[in-house]
Amino acid sequence: MIVRIFIMVGMILAIQCLTMQAPRACTTFLMSDDTVGAGSAFIGKNYDWHMGQGILYINKRGVQKHALLPKSDVSQYASPAQWISRYGSMTFNQYGREFPNGGMNEKGLVVEIMWLEESEYPQQVDHGESLGELQWIQYQLDNFSSIEEVIQKTKEINIIPVYGKTHFLVCDRTRACAAFEYLKQAWVITNGENLRVKTLTNSTYADSIANVSEYVDFGGRKPIPRDLRSISRFLRASSMALQFGKSNQEALNYGFQILASVALDDNQWQILYDIDNLTVHFKMTAMLNTSDKIKSVHLKGFDLSCTKPVMALDMQKNADGDMTSFLQNFSAHDNLELIRKSFEQMPPLPMADAINTIANLPQTFKCMSPGPYKGISFSWLKKTRSRF
């Protein structure tokens, strides 16, 4: 009983940007011009946390999957989500394959997650399909190509309340974005004209945008604050992103400049998603002598059919530039070791069985077809009620 309760707690604690003993912060933003398809749109993400190990995975389309839920009073009647992946994707994972911190799919949809203390999940889930916070990310990348599709399906999806208090910024290739938050036990989705600024930090979107018109670059006179509080990072990243296109600096350098300006001292990853060219550029800022080295992976270069193996890259590989040649076939051993290493750096919890359960999940999935699927859920699938 103790193991099954703490399994997801440990995972969520580690993978999100949470506040425990010291402030933790994440920042995500879109910088772009209006020329869709011209290589001029980037989503930036800072991952500030006390450990930086991770694996970048190239995930496949046509794979039958199911959610892994914790056993709790909230989830006892919940139905784990089941789906077949329509799209391939590229994800950054610190706690194992299928539980990403964020990523981008082959249609240019990007999903990123941040800590939000104000999150309040339902006290009981007895309808619809359910997912944990991290599999929610993989679910969106597997199934959708646009913000409209994500919004439509999200209203039918529950996030099981385990520990992680989170919210999400999702953007697609058209530069449309939406903030997804669980407030007062219900989804609050901000998009379209209501998403005036396409940035998210660690405050609700409503709180972040409330006084934005008082500041320089948004019609006001107040200077943009220089501290690292959530609202300050929101304002600074948004202000700098608005200057993209006006700046003479090369896009990648400018994007990483924004990330550096809102990074905490324990920043681990700085990521730029090029959604027009389906490429990720990232820095492992906490690694010795690597803070200025940019690593890049191009999603277009991979066969994304599930008849081919999932590919993986150790994010701490001591190299930079185009990292394509360093990707290798998925290793269950490496996936397990990543999970063990990450859990070892968390508070002591009895998680031996949990680690194996999480690590073995991908081996329970099946390749159904090398091609994409039009549907999301399949009634003919055997209902798999996976629980910790």
Read off the pTM: 0.90
Q: What is the pLDDT of residue 12?
A: 44
Looking at the chain, the whole-number percentage of residues with pLDDT higher than 70 is 83
Residue numbers of the domain that contains 218 = 2-367
Is residue 380 assigned to a domain? no
Q: Tell me if 373 is assigned to some domain.
A: no
Q: Does 386 fall in a domain?
A: no
Whether 145 contacts 87, CB under 8 Å: yes
CATH number at residue 344: 3.60.60.10
**pLDDT value for 172:** 97
Residue 122 lies in a domain: yes
pLDDT at res. 379:
40
* Domains: count for the chain: 1
pLDDT at 167: 97
Let me know: does 85 contact 60? Beta carbons within 8 Å. Answer: yes
In a domain, 135, yes or no: yes
In a domain, 385, yes or no: no
Give the per-residue pLDDT at 113.
96
Q: Does 87 reside within a domain?
A: yes
Query: How confident is the model at residue 14, as a pLDDT?
Result: 41
The parts of the chain modelled with pLDDT lower than 70 are 1-24, 34-38, 73, 75, 161-163, 246-249, 347-352, 369-388
The model's pLDDT over 187-225, given as tens digits with 9 standing for 90+, comes to 999 999 999 999 999 999 999 999 999 999 999 999 999
377 domain residue, yes or no = no
Q: State the pLDDT at residue 111.
A: 98
